[in-house]
Structure 1
């Protein structure tokens, strides 16, 4: 697994697309935080990173599929998948190595946003007037969200040889699991049906963690989602139908 992780992560860093998606992510978040009048911190008047944590999930819907779309699709298209299976590696070694490498790149893309945190920290009146523990909790929630989206992206990539198709499938599934249950709940928003349905969505649990409520139910949900998507990917990977 470690061999696959190193290979995939170095491959990401040596490709132009990795830097493009990271730059687009940081530029997009930066514009919303510091430039656009309706969301920028300076006009908002409060020392927090609300813009970052509210907008990042939607940016992740595009960023993470762009990172994961090549993980299996490219291997299948170039014919190197068969070569990979001739090595003394299990399916889980390959799957987890690719998953952790993709997730590491997502976290790597998040690290520069700590500059935004430091800037807001310095802009507080007095300096340091920011909820540090709440901000760290929000970062934790964002990493969990990225971990789920990464598992969805790997599942989409193993389904097809086309990176574009993989990107579209992952984008659709990320949006469906993040927003779809909320829209479904609104159809019958006066019944208990809505209350239970909305909890199936990623957005509900992410927003709960953002409020500082990091309880076992939210953690179980995120880890269960990751496990289910990885098991589905393993099932497709083990079928050897390509």
Structure 2
């Protein structure tokens, strides 16, 4: 039904992505209350690593936006919401944990570190420590753009 509206495929994809991302943001806003209370009432007051805290929030937003982009893509290739959810969970889980698991097997020799860097986990852990590295930001932005472009391509292929 959405495809019958006078919208381009890019507008539809970006609308779904930003709607999912807005849901994530609205879900995380209440957690800021805990940060404020720990900052104000911790012992001693103000004894909170704000760099690590904000880095964790920024990393979590990047992680969630990557997962939203993956979910939008999977929903574009399936017609059933339940199938879309299950496939999205497995794909997000593999991208988060799978590459790290393959890295620990040590079966690829020199390219093990490259395989580890393909996964989200190492990039997210780096950001959650409060270190906003440009490599991690580029990774997450590339992941988001890649899956959004795949989604647009999937929608365009349905028109043929």
TM-score range, shorter chain: over 0.9
Structure 2 equivalent of residue 143 of structure 1:
61
Alignment match of 1:224 (pick from 135, 142, 153): 142
Return the structure number with greater helix share. 2
CA shift, 1:146, in A, is: 0.6
Structure-to-structure mapping, 1:195-206, within 5 angstroms: 195-206=113-124
Once the two structures are superposed, what CA deviation does each residue of 1:189-242 show, in whole Å capped at 9, x if it has no partner? 894332221111000001111122212111110000001101111111111269
Partners of 2:155 and 2:6 lie apart in 1 by 16
* Structure 2 alignment gaps of length 5 or more: none
Distance 1:87 1:205, change over 3 A: same
Q: Within the alignment, does 1:187 sit opposite 2:139 as a pair?
A: no
Structure 2 equivalent of residue 178 of structure 1:
96
Q: In 1, are the aligned partners of 2:71 and 2:84 still within 8 Å (CA)?
A: yes
Alignment match of 2:21 (pick from 97, 100, 103): 103
* Structure 1 alignment gaps of length 5 or more: 1-79
Q: Within the alignment, does 1:154 sit opposite 2:72 as a pair?
A: yes
Moved over 6 A (4+): none
Relative contact order: is structure 1 or structure 2 higher (C-alpha 8 Å, sep ≥ 6)? 2
- Partner of 2:118, secondary structure, is coil
Q: In 1, are the aligned partners of 2:52 and 2:131 still within 8 Å (CA)?
A: no
Q: In 1, are the aligned partners of 2:59 and 2:124 still within 8 Å (CA)?
A: yes
Number of matched pairs: 160
Alignment match of 1:215 (pick from 130, 133, 154): 133
- Partner of 1:199, secondary structure, is helix
Q: Within the alignment, does 1:122 sit opposite 2:36 as a pair?
A: no
TM-score by length of 1: 0.63
CA shift, 1:119, in A, is: 2.5
Distance 1:110 1:189, change over 3 A: farther
